[in-house]
Amino acid sequence: MKIMIVDDEVIIRTGLAKVIKWEELGLELLEPAESAEEALERLERERPNILLTDIRMTGKTGLQLAEEAKRLLPELEVIILSGYDDFSYAQQAIRYEVSDYLLKTSRPEDIIKAVLRAKQRVEEKWTAYSQDHFKQKEVVNRLFERWIVNGETGVVESGLLPAYFPRLLGDGHKKELWFQMMIVTAEGWDDSPVSGSLLHFAVENMLHDLMPCETLLEKKRIVIAFASSSGAEENSRQLRSFFQKIERLLKCKLFAALGQRVSRKEELHASFLTADAAFGYQALIPDSVCDYTDIVQRRGGKTVCTHEEELELSSILLENDPVALKGWVKRLVQEQLEDPQMTQESLEALIHSAAIAAHRWLARVLAATGRGQTAEEGAVAGHLQLKQSVQPKDALFQRLYSIMKLYHHQLAEGQATHAQKAMAYIEEHLGQDVGLQQVAKHVHLHPNHLSEVFKKETGMTFGDYVTRQKIRRAMEILTVSPAKVSEVAAKVGYEDVKYFGQLFKKYTGKTPSEFREEAAQHTGQTSP
């Protein structure tokens, strides 16, 4: 709070400046003024809260100063010092709303008391203003939310909006005015909630200074409604200029999502919905500004992992290789981020497809090792939904990593670890080389030792187990696929279709064709 002393007598003004410890009273003493004219010239620039002035000076009097100063600064508190105990002066001071009338012969403590009373009145005005401003802001926020965020048509029809949103709607005389919604988020200060709130509050204030807009400050973003008479390209350039200025001054990084431009205030809710959709691309595009008109043209990218990608993922999960897993995820996601047709929905579908592929792998290896689904496996299941605050590759890596660790650290523990890993590897590579040498290399055992461990833990030889699993897989394919028998044999690793047929009949009692025919008949009998 600031105080200015005005007196044309140097002894009085310097005496008042030095005798009273203004800082101890919580006041900043401005440079004393030698006349009313000087005080009036400095008033709007320095904006004191309290004026302590002599009543009789060369030029304008203290009462004239009080009258003109109150017009410039209505909240100003004025204390008059007079060398005359004249009742008529006191009456005039009351008319000019002077706070106190003191004699120059008053003791310093009396002057201090008068100044403190004036200071208290200023603080009370500030408090009342803050409360009124807070209540007003609450009303504006509620109307903004109902009108723009929720799209309640009754708010527009009420006729209240021009009074509460003058910066957006103006006086109603502007022509060719476009309305648009924008959602802005900021980062770059420390990660604490308090710093985040202060940063967004500072950005909101700067936006109010830079452009005519109305805002709603949410937890981690600012919803902004603004009007413009310029074209879309010029408008975009101007906004980018504003963002660069804010980033430079606040040392932060902004992301802005722009909704569609609309010609009527009744359409601002629709603009908000498109801005909100564009805001979902915060972690998906390299630009700091995302315009809905750019993303709405996208047709969508890849939504499903290829068979080759799934095979590579299964191998990585089985190998328990976090580095390779991170690289696989990065390649999968980056390829889509660079696709100009990628949409948030298509990327989320692809990521979900990768997560489902990992769950299928886990289910297969559990079944192959004689285990059913556990509570832990169910805990990592579910739809993988992208969050705006998390990079897509990080979200996918965390899900796949948790599945990999679940198998290797929990489900594969115990004496049968090597046998279970061998069984899981066989399950994932039935159409490839699953000979003893290859599998032993995978589980890091000597082939002879693996053979002994496998027989001890499973009750059958390694070769018998591989053959049984291949025949089981062939039975599954024959049941659901019209593929030729030779193609089925190849899918499970047999190039000699005749040999495959002999093995199949040995284990099932039927030829592949007979098995397929019976399976088809059974399916037909049970179909509704």
CATH of the domain at 40: 3.40.50.2300
| pLDDT number for residue 130 | 65
**Does residue 440 sit within a domain?**
yes
Residues 484 and 445 in one domain: yes
Secondary structure element (H or E) that encloses residue 289, with its range: strand 289-291
304 touches 353 (CB < 8 A): yes
Per-residue pLDDT band for 172 (boundaries 50, 70, 90) equals low
CATH code assigned at 494:
1.10.10.60
Residues 400 and 501 in one domain: no
Spatial strand order of the sheet with 100-103 comes to 28-29, 2-6, 50-54, 77-82, 100-103
**Does residue 134 sit within a domain?**
no
pLDDT digits (tens, 9 = 90+) for 136-146: 778 888 889 99
Residues 180 and 286 in one domain: yes
How far, in Å, CA of 422 to CA of 425, rounded?
5
Residues 256 and 327 in one domain: no
The total number of structural domains in the chain stands at 4
pLDDT digits (tens, 9 = 90+) for 197-252: 889 989 998 998 898 899 999 888 999 999 888 888 888 899 999 999 999 989 99
Domain end among 249, 268, 290: 290
Average pLDDT score over residue span 276-280: 93
170 has a pLDDT exceeding 80: no
- Kindly list the distances between the CA atom of residue 93 and the CA atoms of 16, 272, 519, in Å, as whole numbers in the listed order: 21, 55, 108
Residues 23 and 111 in one domain: yes
Per-residue pLDDT band for 90 (boundaries 50, 70, 90) equals low
Could you tell me the two tokens for 232? 């879309």
**Does residue 423 sit within a domain?**
yes
Residues 273 and 200 in one domain: yes
374 has a pLDDT exceeding 60: no
pTM of the predicted structure, to 2 decimals: 0.58
112 touches 20 (CB < 8 A): yes
Residues 318 and 389 in one domain: yes
**Does residue 150 sit within a domain?**
no
| pLDDT number for residue 415 | 42
How far, in Å, CA of 88 to CA of 101, rounded?
12
Least confident of 15-19, 163-167, 279-283: 163-167
Give the single-character DSSP code of 262: B
Residues 21 and 97 in one domain: yes
Q: What is the domain extent for residue 90?
A: 2-125
**Does residue 144 sit within a domain?**
no
**Does residue 163 sit within a domain?**
no
| pLDDT number for residue 461 | 92
Which residues, listed in sequence order, are joined to residue 179 by a DSSP beta bridge?
A: 227, 262
470 touches 495 (CB < 8 A): no
Which residues, listed in sequence order, are joined to residue 33 by a DSSP beta bridge?
A: 6
**Does residue 116 sit within a domain?**
yes
Average pLDDT score over residue span 81-106: 72
